[in-house]
């Protein structure tokens, strides 16, 4: 059984990128359809024909869950995949225009859901999954529930770093031998900033400055990081997704990864339903499958840590209780976001969403 190491894990959410759209005047949509699983009409769900999902989750995981849902219920799921900032901006823009398309939203940082709740866009529901998800990991009003936790790990190429030579700590990555050999991710809107700031909060801005001195390659996503590491174009990556690093290793690629003992950034992802959905029965049915033990076990099998207490850690991964998780206070990040992103710009250069 998965046990979370501390009740403050809620603060693991990465609040920054999604907050670029907080100031927008999205209009709350009217509530429609069932609010609890017992009220789902399966005939209506099938007649609605499909579910539209906006998500920032890795597509291999999304595809696996959708395939199982369609096999079970015969209902198709169409989805848009982007970073949390992209997902949030898309939802708010559609709401402002009065043409909200999505039925369900899933974002890799909880702040995205908090923004939507603040705008009155999320539908409160009574999910059957609440009994398996700790109270700190779900909204008491029922508008969102955490589905996963992502850790930012240190990944490396095993051909470049043989036995006994691989970096094991964040400080190891600042060594002179790492000059021109590192890679990290962040899109132009700063999607990767929260976990980097988490490292800065824990170990000082000096760590990020030292990493920047190695001239790291910046790419758009963790998926691209792993491709770069697999090809040997760079030797190591900092603060990349644990599930993607795990998958690369399991596929027999020349890669491995570590959770540095001094601490790893963790981010809380969550999901919710949107008010005014034109597929309300199908949407709630899909949400409940996504958050069910069956759905979450598919997520875990693909390398993600589930929020459900009855779902085991991903195969080959340590329990969260064995890790030192570095969390981020979302209110503090929100308050100082522009200053933080300017600091990232000064250190690493490029665009950071300010």
Question: Are residues 48 and 130 located together in one domain of the fold?
Answer: yes
pLDDT(18) > 80: no
pLDDT(25) > 80: no
Domain count of the fold of the chain: 2
**57 inside domain:** yes
Question: Are residues 247 and 304 located together in one domain of the fold?
Answer: no
Q: Which range marks the domain in which residue 220 is found?
A: 151-264+330-347
**293 inside domain:** yes
Average per-residue pLDDT in the chain? 90
Find all residues with CB under 8 Å of 282, minimum gap 6, and list them: 45, 46, 48, 49, 50, 51, 75, 103
pLDDT digits (tens, 9 = 90+) for 142-186: 999 999 999 999 999 999 999 999 999 999 999 999 999 999 999
Question: Are residues 129 and 274 located together in one domain of the fold?
Answer: yes
Length of the chain: 354
Instruction: Write the DSSP assignment of 21-73 as a string of letters.
Output: GTTS-PPPPPP-S-SSGGG--HHHHHHH-EEEEEE-S-HHHHHHHHHHHHHHH
Specify the pLDDT at position 21: 35
pLDDT digits (tens, 9 = 90+) for 272-301: 999 999 999 999 999 999 999 999 999 999
Of all residues in the chain, the percent with pLDDT exceeding 90 is 79
Query: Of 139-153, 254-268, 321-335, where does mean pLDDT reach its minimum?
Result: 321-335
**2 inside domain:** no
> Angle CA(88)–CA(129)–CA(148) in degrees, nearest 5?
45
- Residues linked to residue 123 through DSSP beta bridges, in sequence order: 273
pLDDT(24) > 80: no
Question: pTM score, two decimals?
Answer: 0.85
| Whole-number Å distance between alpha carbons of 302 and 313 | 11
Mean pLDDT of 33-44: 95
């Amino acid at each position: 059984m998965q046990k979370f190491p501390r009740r403050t894990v809620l603060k693991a959410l990465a609040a920054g990128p999604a907050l670029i759209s907080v100031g927008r005047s999205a209009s709350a949509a009217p509530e429609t359809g069932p609010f609890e699983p017992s009220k789902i009409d399966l005939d209506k769900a099938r007649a609605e024909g499909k579910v539209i999902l906006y998500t920032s989750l890795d597509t291999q995981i999304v595809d696996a869950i959708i395939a199982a849902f369609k096999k079970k219920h015969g209902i198709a799921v169409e989805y848009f995949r982007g970073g949390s900032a992209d997902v949030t901006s898309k939802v708010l823009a559609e709401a402002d225009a009065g043409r909200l398309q999505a039925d369900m939203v899933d974002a890799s940082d909880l702040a995205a859901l908090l923004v939507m709740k603040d705008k009155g866009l999320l539908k409160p529901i009574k999910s059957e999954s609440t009994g398996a998800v700790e109270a700190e990991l779900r909204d008491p009003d029922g508008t969102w529930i955490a589905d996963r936790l992502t850790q930012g790990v240190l990944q490396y190429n095993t051909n470049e770093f043989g036995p006994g030579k691989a970096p094991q700590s964040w400080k190891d990555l600042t060594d002179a031998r790492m000059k021109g050999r590192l890679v990290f991710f962040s899109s132009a809107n700063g999607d990767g900033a929260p976990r980097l700031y988490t490292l800065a909060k824990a170990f000082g801005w000096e760590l990020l400055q030292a990493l920047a001195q190695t001239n790291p390659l910046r790419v758009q996503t963790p998926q691209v990081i792993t491709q770069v590491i697999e090809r040997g174009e760079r030797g190591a990556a900092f603060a990349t997704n644990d599930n993607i690093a795990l998958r690369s290793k399991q596929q027999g690629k020349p890669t491995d990864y570590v959770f540095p003992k001094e601490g790893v950034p963790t981010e809380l992802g969550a999901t919710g339903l949107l008010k005014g959905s034109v597929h309300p029965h199908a949407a709630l049915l899909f949400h409940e499958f996504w958050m069910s033990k069956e759905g979450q076990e598919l997520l875990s099998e693909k390398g993600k840590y589930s929020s459900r207490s009855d779902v085991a850690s991903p195969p080959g991964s340590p329990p969260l209780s064995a890790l030192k998780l570095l969390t981020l206070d979302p209110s503090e990040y929100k308050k100082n976001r522009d200053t933080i992103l300017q600091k990232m710009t000064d250190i690493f250069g490029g665009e950071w969403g300010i």
